[in-house]
């Protein structure tokens, strides 16, 4: 499946997660009205990693199919597991302003789990069902949903 025209954000993310990007041609997607260029050097299938350039900035993007811990270099995590998985967040302490965008492209649940006793908007975990996503930001002590 190649992307054509102006995809919705869900279509663009699903294309990146569910499909193989072929060849070295640039694929242009529209995410939130912003032209996004994906230039693969080889065929890309999940799990994958790429840098997503938006408005001149780069967001590190990683695809996962199993339990994982977000790193400070991650920005967007696409989940496409074949069973329920957990994405563990690092401690919010010391990384004020760090944002993670976590997306579930499978029929299985993805549990987003903050470090230790930290919370996401007061909750100990958040569960993402199929095609749901969450964007969280560190306030220096806990995580808040954007």
pLDDT value of position 55: 52
- Planar angle of CA 80, 128, 6, nearest 5 degrees: 65
pLDDT value of position 60: 84
Mean pLDDT to the nearest integer, 79-87: 97
Residue with the larger pLDDT of the pair 124 and 54: 124
CA nearest 69: which of 43, 82, 87, 81?
A: 87
CA distance 17 to 105: 7
Residue 37 has pLDDT above 70, yes or no: no
CA atoms within 13 Å, Cβ hemisphere of 110: 31
pLDDT value of position 84: 98
Question: Domains of the chain by range and CATH?
Answer: 47-145 (2.60.120)
Residue 36 has pLDDT above 80, yes or no: no
pLDDT value of position 114: 98
Q: What is the DSSP track for 45-85?
A: -SS-EEEEEETTEEEEEEEESS-EE--TT--EEEE--SS-E
pLDDT per residue over 46-61, tens digit each?
Answer: 444 544 444 556 678 8
The model's pTM: 0.64
């Amino acid at each position: 499946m190649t992307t054509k025209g102006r995809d919705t954000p869900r279509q663009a993310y699903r294309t990146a997660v569910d499909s193989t990007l072929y060849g070295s041609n640039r694929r242009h997607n529209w995410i939130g009205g912003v032209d996004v260029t994906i230039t693969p050097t080889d065929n890309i299938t999940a799990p994958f990693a790429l840098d997503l350039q938006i408005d001149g900035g780069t967001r590190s993007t990683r695809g996962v199919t199993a339990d994982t811990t977000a790193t400070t270099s991650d920005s967007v995590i696409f989940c496409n597991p074949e069973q329920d998985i957990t994405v563990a967040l690092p401690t919010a302490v010391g990384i004020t302003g760090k944002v993670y965008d976590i997306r579930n492209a499978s029929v299985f649940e993805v549990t987003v789990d903050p470090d230790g006793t930290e919370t996401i908007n007061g909750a100990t975990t958040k569960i993402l069902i199929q095609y749901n996503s969450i964007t969280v930001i560190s306030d220096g002590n806990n995580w808040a949903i954007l």
